[in-house]
Amino acid sequence: MKKIPVRMIALLAMNITICLKLSAQSSRPLAQEILSDTSLNRVKTMAEDLLKTGFNAGSSYGEVWIRDFNTFITLSCKVMPADSVKKRLRVFFQMQGADGNIVDGYIPKSKADAGYDYIYSKNAPQFAGHKNTVETDQETSLIQAVYKYVQVTGDTDFLHEIIDAKSVQERMSDALQFLMTKRFSPEYGLIYGATTVDWGDVQPETPWGVRMDSLSHLAIDIYDNSMLVIALNDYIDLFPPAHHWLEVRKNIKKNIMKYLWDKKHQKFIPHIYLHGSPFPAAMPGGRQAFDENKINYHGGTAVAIEAGLLDKKQIQEVNRQMLADVKASGAQSIGLTVYPPYPEGFFKNKGMYPYGYQNGGDWTWFGARMITALVKYGFVQDAFNEIQPMINRVIAHDGFYEWYTREGKPAGSELFRGSAGVLYTTINALQDWAKENTGN
């Protein structure tokens, strides 16, 4: 092999140093602007204050939901005693089904009056659990939440704690195996649920729409499978070498990009249907054809980026599309769930009207995850620009709401801890970047 002259090595090193200095200088104004933005710290303080008050999802939710808890557990570990956080995680394993499935949430028996088909366990007799079976993110959310808890607290002993003759590690493996056994499509090599909107848990065929039944149309989507990739990343990191799950992760990632990524339009398709679509082929009145593949799923795309499925060029393009969707819809932020929304009458649940709830509502809970991803991949100016409407509405309405209308009116649950948790994470990502790029 030819030896590189010492002088050339020195020149290369000098050029790299110059480039780094120039990069730092160009980043410094933005870094200083981020660090001087007092509204960011104001919202962080508001988030901390909210998370000190409990673990239920929001003021209109009595339950501790795992899909929500997963998104604010890191902040909970900062502002609440670690044992109180672990206690909430433990209940999900205590209520785990014999087949490995995980409940959505639980509530004290005395308050179990929301109309769910409640689930009970001898291991947690004081609680009633429930599971919205149309969705397939409960198991993956719990694994991610445990990972975050361990990362923050260093409490690896929890992974070996025995619950009804099984360790937490074994129960985490059982949860993954449930997906492979009960929610796996051999044809596509991906997991499925019932048809919902993006990350939502309401199917179109029934008025409430949270239980998989004989009317359900089974479908594969990007959100569920991206959540699985993240859970596998976390499980493998906690329990190396995990050879079996390494192979599973490899195949899931490959099949996501093979079947769900629309290369031509640089977006993920909404669904792969296993036995037909629940949606009509034409719009109401038959005026024109309905093409579901024109709908852009913002939330699932953000989670896919978190899972490491897209490269920088693809991320830049999907962010461009999200901003275009926000402008076209008249929404306030990239928390816009989907665009265009499903037409009026496509869902029997009356709350799923166009631009309502999960059908085009504006959710910080997912939009902020996209902004965190933008910071991670170097699109910091975009991230700082795109967080502004989210920060402004928290301050304007003096709190964290579940979602917002196109016009910016708060809706859903007040004191929504998921929104507080993801915004806190995003602000930290921006400020950490800024501290590294002030040129000091």
- Tens of each residue's pLDDT in the chain, 440 residues: 455 555 555 555 445 444 444 455 689 999 999 999 999 999 999 999 999 999 999 999 999 999 999 999 999 999 999 999 999 999 999 999 999 999 999 999 999 999 999 999 999 999 999 999 999 999 999 999 999 999 999 999 999 999 999 999 999 999 999 999 999 999 999 999 999 999 999 999 999 999 999 999 999 999 999 999 999 999 999 999 999 999 999 999 999 999 999 999 999 999 999 999 999 988 767 668 899 999 999 999 999 999 999 999 999 999 999 999 999 999 999 999 999 999 999 999 999 999 999 999 999 999 999 999 999 999 999 999 999 999 999 999 999 999 999 999 999 999 999 999 999 999 999 999 999 998 65
Burial of 113 (0-12, 13-18, 19+ CB in 10 A): exposed
343 cis-preceded (ω within 30 degrees of 0): no
Is the separation of the CB atoms in 212 and 134 below 8 Å?
A: yes
Q: What is the rounded CA–CA span in Å between residue 145 and residue 151?
A: 10
Q: What is the rounded CA–CA span in Å between residue 204 and residue 219?
A: 12
Q: How confident is the model at residue 282, as a pLDDT?
A: 81
pTM (predicted TM-score): 0.94
Q: How confident is the model at residue 286, as a pLDDT?
A: 65
Is the separation of the CB atoms in 282 and 289 below 8 Å?
A: yes
Q: How confident is the model at residue 59, as a pLDDT?
A: 93
Record: fold of 42-434: Glycosyltransferase (1.50.10)
Q: Phi and psi for 387 in degrees, rounded to 5?
A: -80, -20
Within 10 A of 62 (CB to CB), how many other CB atoms are there? 16
Q: What is the rounded CA–CA span in Å between residue 29 and residue 27?
A: 6
Where in the chain are the domains?
A: 42-434
Q: What is the rounded CA–CA span in Å between residue 361 and residue 237?
A: 35
Q: How confident is the model at residue 17, as a pLDDT?
A: 45
Is the separation of the CB atoms in 201 and 133 below 8 Å?
A: no
Q: What are the structure tokens assigned to 28, written together? A: 């410094």
Burial of 167 (0-12, 13-18, 19+ CB in 10 A): middle
Q: How confident is the model at residue 287, as a pLDDT?
A: 67
Q: What is the rounded CA–CA span in Å between residue 165 and residue 169?
A: 12
